[in-house]
A and B are shown apart, each in its own frame.
Chain A
Amino acid sequence: MLFLNRPSEVGTQPPRAAFLMPSLVLLLLLAAGLSVAIGPVRLDAERLLAALGLHGDRIAHAIVIDLRLPRMMAAALVGAMLGLSGGVLQGYLRNPLAEPSVLGASNAAALGAVIALYFGLSELHAAVLPILAIVAALGALALLFMLSGRSESPLTLILAGIAVSTLAGAGISLALNLSPNPFAAMEIMTWLLGSVENRTFSHVWIALPCVGIGAFLLAGCGQPLDALSLGEDAARSMGVDLARLRLRILAGVAIGVGGAVAVSGAIGFVGLIVPHLMRPFTDRSPSAVLLPSMVAGAVLLLLADVLVRVAPTTNELKLGVVTAFLGVPVFLVHLMRERRLW
Chain B
Amino acid sequence: MVTISLDSVTVSLNTRKVLSKVSADLTAGTLIGIIGPNGAGKSTLVRAMLGLVPVSAGQVVVDGEPIASILPKALARKLAYLPQGQTVHWPLTVERLIALGRLPYLSPFSRIGPSDADAIENAIARADVGHLRQRDATQLSGGERARALLARALAVGATGLIVDEPLASLDPGHQIDVMEILAGEARKGSLVLAVLHDLTLAARYCDRLIVMDQGKLVADGTPAAVLTADLLRSVYGVEAFVDRTSDALMVIPMRRTTL
State which of A4, A9, A11, A229 has its C-beta within 8 Å of the C-beta of B90. A229
Task: Kindly specify which of B2-10, B55-63, B93-101, B250-258 makes contact with the partner chain.
Answer: B93-101
Taking CB as reference atom, which chain A residue is nearest B106? A223
Check if B19 is an interface residue, CB within 8 A of chain A.
Answer: no
Task: Please tell me if the beta carbons of B85 and A11 are within 8 angstroms of each other in the complex.
Answer: no
Task: Please tell me if the beta carbons of A8 and B130 are within 8 angstroms of each other in the complex.
Answer: no
Check if B47 is an interface residue, CB within 8 A of chain A.
Answer: yes
Task: Please tell me if the beta carbons of A239 and B83 are within 8 angstroms of each other in the complex.
Answer: no
**Interface size class of chain A, counting residues whose CB lies under 8 Å from the partner chain:** 20 to 34
Report chain A residues within 8 Å CB of B74.
239
Check if B13 is an interface residue, CB within 8 A of chain A.
Answer: no
The smallest beta-carbon distance between B197 and chain A, in angstroms, is 19
State which of A4, A11, A233 has its C-beta within 8 Å of the C-beta of B120. A11
Instruction: Using A220-B109, A239-B104 as known contacts, say yes or no to A233 and B47 having CB atoms under 8 A apart.
Output: yes
Task: Please tell me if the beta carbons of A238 and B87 are within 8 angstroms of each other in the complex.
Answer: no
Interface string of B71-84 (1 = CB under 8 A from A): 11111110111110
Report chain B residues within 8 Å CB of A239.
71-77, 103-104
Task: Please tell me if the beta carbons of B79 and A226 are within 8 angstroms of each other in the complex.
Answer: no
State which of A3, A11, A226 has its C-beta within 8 Å of the C-beta of B134. A3
Residues from 155 to 192 in B contacting A, C-beta threshold 8 Å: 156
Check if A55 is an interface residue, CB within 8 A of chain B.
Answer: no
**Interface size class of chain B, counting residues whose CB lies under 8 Å from the partner chain:** 35 or more
Report chain B residues within 8 Å CB of A94.
89-90
Task: Please tell me if the beta carbons of A234 and B87 are within 8 angstroms of each other in the complex.
Answer: yes
Check if B131 is an interface residue, CB within 8 A of chain A.
Answer: yes
Report chain B residues within 8 Å CB of A285.
90, 92, 96, 100
State which of B93, B95, B103, B104 has its C-beta within 8 Å of the C-beta of A226. B103
A237 to B77, CA, bound (A): 9
A240 to B149, CA, bound (A): 18
Interface string of A214-227 (1 = CB under 8 A from B): 00000010110011
Instruction: Using A11-B99, A229-B100, A283-B92 as known contacts, say yes or no to A237 and B79 having CB atoms under 8 A apart.
Output: yes
Check if A265 is an interface residue, CB within 8 A of chain B.
Answer: no
Taking CB as reference atom, which chain A residue is nearest B117? A10
Report chain A residues within 8 Å CB of B47.
233
Task: Please tell me if the beta carbons of B100 and A230 are within 8 angstroms of each other in the complex.
Answer: yes
Report chain B residues within 8 Å CB of A286.
90
Taking CB as reference atom, which chain B residue is nearest A235? B103
Report chain A residues within 8 Å CB of B99.
10-11
State which of A4, A230, A236, A241 has its C-beta within 8 Å of the C-beta of B87. A230
Report chain A residues within 8 Å CB of B152.
230
Check if A16 is an interface residue, CB within 8 A of chain B.
Answer: no
Task: Please tell me if the beta carbons of B91 and A284 are within 8 angstroms of each other in the complex.
Answer: yes
Task: Please tell me if the beta carbons of B130 and A223 are within 8 angstroms of each other in the complex.
Answer: no
Instruction: Using A4-B134, A231-B83, A238-B76 as known contacts, say yes or no to A11 and B117 having CB atoms under 8 A apart.
Output: yes
Taking CB as reference atom, which chain A residue is nearest B76? A239
Task: Please tell me if the beta carbons of A223 and B92 are within 8 angstroms of each other in the complex.
Answer: no
The smallest beta-carbon distance between B229 and chain A, in angstroms, is 35
Report chain B residues within 8 Å CB of A227.
100, 103
A10 to B152, CA, bound (A): 13
Report chain A residues within 8 Å CB of B72.
236, 239-241
Contacts A10-B112, A228-B89, A234-B87 given; 17 further ones with Cβ under 8 A?
A: A4-B134, A4-B135, A5-B131, A10-B117, A10-B121, A11-B99, A223-B103, A223-B106, A230-B100, A230-B149, A233-B83, A234-B82, A236-B72, A237-B50, A238-B100, A239-B103, A283-B92
> What are the 3 closest A-B residue pairs judged by CB atoms, nearest first?
A11-B112, A239-B76, A231-B87
Residues in B lying within 8 Å of A, measured CB to CB? 47, 50, 52, 71-77, 79-83, 85, 87-93, 95-97, 99-101, 103-104, 106, 108-109, 111-112, 116-117, 120-121, 130-135, 149, 152, 156
